[in-house]
Structure 1
Amino acid sequence: MQNRSLSRRTVLASATLAAAGATGAVGAAPAAAHGRDHRLRRIISGMSVKAKIGQLFVPYFHGTSATSPSRSDQDRNLAELGVRTVAELIAKYHLGGVIYFHGWTNNIRDPRQIADLSNGVQRASLALPTPIPSLISIDQEHGVNVRIGSGATQLPGAMALGAGHSLPDARTAGRISGTELAALGIHQNFAPVADVNVNPANPIINVRSFGADAREVSRMVAAQVTGYQQSGVIACAKHFPGHGDTAQDSHTGLPVITHTREEWDRVDAPPFRAAIAAGVDSIMTAHLQVPALDPSNEPATLSPAILQGVLRGELGFEGVIVTDALNMEGVRTKYGDDRVPVLALRAGADQLLFPPDIGVAYNGVLAAVRSGEITEDRLDESVLRILRIKDKAGLLSGSPYVSRTEVDRVVGARGHRAAAARIAERTTTLLVNEDAALPLSRGCRKLLVVGASPAFPTDDSRTTVPELAGAFDELGYRTTHLATGGEPDAAKIDEAVAAARGRDAVVVTTDNVGAAGVQRTLVSRLLATGVPVVHLAVRNPYDIAHLGDVPASLASYCWTEVELRAAARVIAGRVAPRGRLPVPVQRADDPAEVLFRAGHGLSYDA
């Protein structure tokens, strides 16, 4: 770490901000809040227009280092961003924040590296003419949508927590995640998802939602907001005004929510109201049309009627409005990339997330300010809101740097992992258990684990079937495994059937079974062998509707290590299943008929 000896400029910058009165206080009294705003406005008054515009943007970048990424990452940055490093990007556009991703941007390798990267970002920010620390953001929802894998505590995702129906568990999960993010120098997490997943065909929200009941989702959202913000991390409820009832992905198109105003008030609005009541500091927009809220059919991200009229006016939200990623097709269908950020600001947004071309977006806003389309007073409103959450995250007082010592102490701590394991056990849901097929009998020692084997969200080298087999091995079983994939061909199915011979039981995993999917054929062929079959849906609890008469079926809601190990312990009878469906499961052949109601979940004595 290079935070032992801060530069004179850094010390002066920190002292200046501290003198400006940053307190980081939570729940400040009105007089204190007024005093804070007065001091923050003093900072704003010393900023140039370009610096103010820069505070609004939260772009991506490539590389694991702020100043010395690999040559290939430098080349990608140069091709896509016009600079070689994120330090140069911050300097060029006076950025107020950045967002980390794993994989394609190569930002994330391990906890110590992330902390070093965060410190490099802060050094670059404090070298600006107006030295204000960066607000570093991430999408660490857990479950199927997670960015930091190796070394950090993996926690059940939203629908799994919804199946646990435990507010303390949801709050604890948020607090653990937030505590680890803060130790890594990450201050804003784009979680929790506040969408109510009332459409089983939803391709983008699905198990990222806590469930299908607005009241239950509201309770869980409020609990997670509290947990995150108790840790000092800024939570972000998303995707306003609600992305739960669509069969289209806003990454690739512009969905339409056809709810009436009464339906929106009853189904979509409650979780956002709950988040606001819990003190959420930021809310993310959705790129979709909601005619009941805005008859002009502007995407919500660009709609003054939705952002100013509904979110600020009716719901009373005073925090930071964050756009969903501006590179998504849902917000680019009507306007060019230079106009989208301008229209988002005019609609009421504050943070402009992930523009497809930072130069085009930044210069588009700059041109709008120079032409008078966006006033400097309007810029100041958004910068003030952003500085408020930077202040609350502790960035405007003292040092913004983090230490490797704290990373080693906090991230992936034994207590955090143990808590995550206990929470996961309380979320695993037993849907079917004919003739007490589970737990496995004591004489059942030889297992075959077979089926769909999606890769871990942050580690392609680890996949579901071998990891689940390893979990059973640790419990004392003699396990063989065969990953057949999500679309097994006839030869692979024949291989699975042959592998089942001589086994005491087969555990078969499925991932998004469709009405005509060949995963159904795999399960039916395994059932025909006469070997006892246990089915585990490793993503959607809806899979069981397509599988016929399986003797035992469970849902884990995701396939990360913590959920797979919990499922193995439940199947083995080391713990009793306690999860209850947070969504209804309709019959595949008659969606009007419910196969399993929300709240369904079986158990047995462990």
Structure 2
Amino acid sequence: MQDRNLSRRTVLASATVVAASATGVVGAAAAPAVAHRRDDRHLRRILSTMSVEAKVGQLFVPYFYGTSATSPSQYDQERNLKELGVRTVAELIAKYHVGGVIYFSGWANNIQDPRQVAALSDGVQRASLALPTPVPSLISIDQEHGANVRIGSGATQLPGAMALGAGGSLSDARTAGRISGAELAALGIHQNFAPVADVNVNPANPIINIRSFGADPGEVSRMVAAQVRGYQQAGVVACAKHFPGHGDTAEDSHTGLPVITHTREEWDRVDAPPFRAAIAAGVDSIMTAHLQVPALDPSNEPATLSPAILQGVLRGELGFDGVIVTDALNMRGVRTKYGDDRVPVLALKAGADQLLFPPDIDVAFHGVLAAVRSGEITEERLDASVLRILRLKDKVGLLRGSPYTSASEIERVVGARRHRLAAARITERTTTLLVNRNRALPLRRGQRKLLVVGASPAFPTDATRSTVPELAAAFDELGYSTVHLATGRTPDAAAIDAAVAAAQGRDAVVVTTDNVGAASAQRTLVSRLLATGVPVVHLAVRNPYDIAHLGEVPASLVSYCWTEVELRAAARVIAGRVEPRGKLPVPVQRADAPSQVLFPAGHGLTYDD
């Protein structure tokens, strides 16, 4: 723990603020932005037709199970009935008048392929338009790319935030947002909970890490602003998260209540600039964080429930007049002090508008409804949030045109060849070469027989595909002869022996690592492979910090994630088909002396170095 804190302080101390060029303002005393005059008369007419129940429902963005709005599988119907009290999302909308829903892959079984997602979106909209006050749903998703992907097969895969930070191109960040946004919009999804605006100054951060653009507030600010513009140019609501900043935590707010110990000056210098930049770029929504920031609210309420943070800082000081959306209300960080009926009420009183993923929709809905009927939440306060949500729906065209998807648009946009080619080019500019002793890379003409071995995380959206075989396939496509062996994040002695044996007769070994620590068996694997005398190339497929634990490897690269597009880019760099161009967006400390920097932010070799 002592080393971890030293490492965090080193990165925090090195964070520089050059956000003035990105935001035009620096510091807490900057004047709040002035809200543009709006003609809300048509929205207020809609609002005037809503019952109190309908208004309360507009605030909620719940999850649900199944690939169809009206006829999910029997298994998903049973799960919906058990957890939501209804069998289908159409029934959920009818019962609670919810203003939106959120899609998840995997556990929620909402996503199979683009055409199915589009059909689901159309079903959700039909259910919403069947309400007494027919208002289309604002359908949401977490499609950050990189490690956090919901729609995989059939859609364009793009590099995640830290990879884009390594690329350093604002144009690439904006293009990635625009491509992702265009494909989401074609599928009937109009709110994406991205980009991450947290500045990752803590290498031990268990929840943000590679989801952040980096450790420098100015660079993160510019990348966030570029992505916001890209998404919103594509007609999708962007969402900067997690306010007031989740980049310096060593605890996951899914399982606990982290505390940010920054002083007010540190918060202004490190955490605030990306959110200022997002607001200056016109971001339509900002997500709260479930953590305590004593420098901003001495009462130590979680930020999601803090009027001082949401109204005083976000709306007052930063001048944000858009939609404030809570992080998921099922997370432990927001449930430590209050019951599930009170949390949404307190979030609204604090200043939130959208209430995401309540653990019990019935309890949450009736908790807010009771608070409105008792006068604890005034109808004027309720109307203010509903009006903000209606503005979002209007902005993305849901209230003035058809909310339904178009088959021809899906065919033209989703996974389009031009999008995939752009994604490949962008990603090739992100792969970072950290070490290249004696010009070990690119691979020489005679190094054709490769062993690909090591940690093999499953793809974010497809557990049947994983890193090591996919990386081997990428080399095969480039003309290499590969064998592969997945040894996992915790290889035992037998797995390590098998890897050493497999290295015999190979021209080179490419070994992948995933989140190496001081006691990681992955260190032993790399050491044993080095001892074979076969040239070893190391690829970190998640954190750039792995190299600090691996000793004298001849060559070391970082891909920042393990998706297909990032693995293919890394293979092309290793093969010498493209130059490595990425630069570290975070510093890497020495493992044996965390107060000392091993590789500074901005480090990245080319083959000419």
TM range (shorter): over 0.9
1:239 aligns with 2:218: no
The separation in 1 between residues aligned to 2:167 and 2:598, in whole angstroms, is: 20
CA contact (8 A) 2:237 2:285 kept: yes
Q: Which deviations, in whole Å up to 9, do the C-alpha atoms of 1:302-338 show, x marking residues without a partner?
A: 0000000000000000000000000000000000000
Mapping 1:32-51, distance limit 5 Å: 34=37, 36-51=39-54
Q: Which deviations, in whole Å up to 9, do the C-alpha atoms of 1:408-466 show, x marking residues without a partner?
A: 11100000000000011000000000000000000110000000000000000000000
Mapping 1:120-519, distance limit 5 Å: 120-519=123-522
The separation in 2 between residues aligned to 1:605 and 1:226, in whole angstroms, is: 35
Q: Which deviations, in whole Å up to 9, do the C-alpha atoms of 1:478-526 show, x marking residues without a partner?
A: 0000000000000000000000000000000000001110000000000
Q: Which deviations, in whole Å up to 9, do the C-alpha atoms of 1:234-261 show, x marking residues without a partner?
A: 0000000000000000000000000000
Q: What's the TM-score, normalizing by structure 1?
A: 0.94
* Residue of structure 2 equivalent to 1:27: none
Change (3 A) 1:131 1:492: same
Matched position secondary structure for 1:140: coil
Matched position secondary structure for 1:129: coil
The separation in 2 between residues aligned to 1:475 and 1:40, in whole angstroms, is: 56
1:60 aligns with 2:67: no
1:39: Cα distance to partner?
1.9
1:115 aligns with 2:118: yes
The separation in 2 between residues aligned to 1:605 and 1:352, in whole angstroms, is: 52
The separation in 2 between residues aligned to 1:404 and 1:100, in whole angstroms, is: 20
The separation in 1 between residues aligned to 2:497 and 2:376, in whole angstroms, is: 66
* Residue of structure 2 equivalent to 1:7: none
Residues matched between the structures, number: 577
Matched position secondary structure for 2:42: helix
The separation in 1 between residues aligned to 2:64 and 2:254, in whole angstroms, is: 19
The separation in 2 between residues aligned to 1:31 and 1:193, in whole angstroms, is: 25
Aligned-pair identity in percent equals 86
CA contact (8 A) 1:576 1:605 kept: no
Mapping 1:22-101, distance limit 5 Å: 34=37, 36-101=39-104
CA contact (8 A) 2:35 2:321 kept: no
* Residue of structure 1 equivalent to 2:5: none
Matched to 2:61, the amino acid is V
1:403: Cα distance to partner?
1.6
Matched position secondary structure for 1:191: coil
Q: What's the TM-score, normalizing by structure 2?
A: 0.94
The separation in 2 between residues aligned to 1:66 and 1:233, in whole angstroms, is: 22
The separation in 2 between residues aligned to 1:32 and 1:261, in whole angstroms, is: 26
Gaps of 5+ in 2: 1-32
CA contact (8 A) 2:306 2:347 kept: yes
The separation in 2 between residues aligned to 1:465 and 1:566, in whole angstroms, is: 14
Matched to 1:200, the amino acid is P
The separation in 2 between residues aligned to 1:216 and 1:602, in whole angstroms, is: 20
Q: Which deviations, in whole Å up to 9, do the C-alpha atoms of 1:61-114 show, x marking residues without a partner?
A: 000000000000000000000000000000000110000000111000000000
CA contact (8 A) 2:307 2:350 kept: yes
The separation in 2 between residues aligned to 1:72 and 1:365, in whole angstroms, is: 30
Gaps of 5+ in 1: 1-29
The separation in 1 between residues aligned to 2:503 and 2:460, in whole angstroms, is: 29
Matched position secondary structure for 1:238: strand
1:35: Cα distance to partner?
5.5
1:587 aligns with 2:590: yes
Q: Which deviations, in whole Å up to 9, do the C-alpha atoms of 1:261-306 show, x marking residues without a partner?
A: 0000000000000000000000000000000000000000000000
Change (3 A) 1:132 1:483: same
Matched position secondary structure for 1:327: coil
Matched position secondary structure for 1:249: coil
Matched to 2:251, the amino acid is Q
Structure 1's consecutive aligned runs of 4 or more residues displaced over 3 angstroms after TM superposition are 30-35
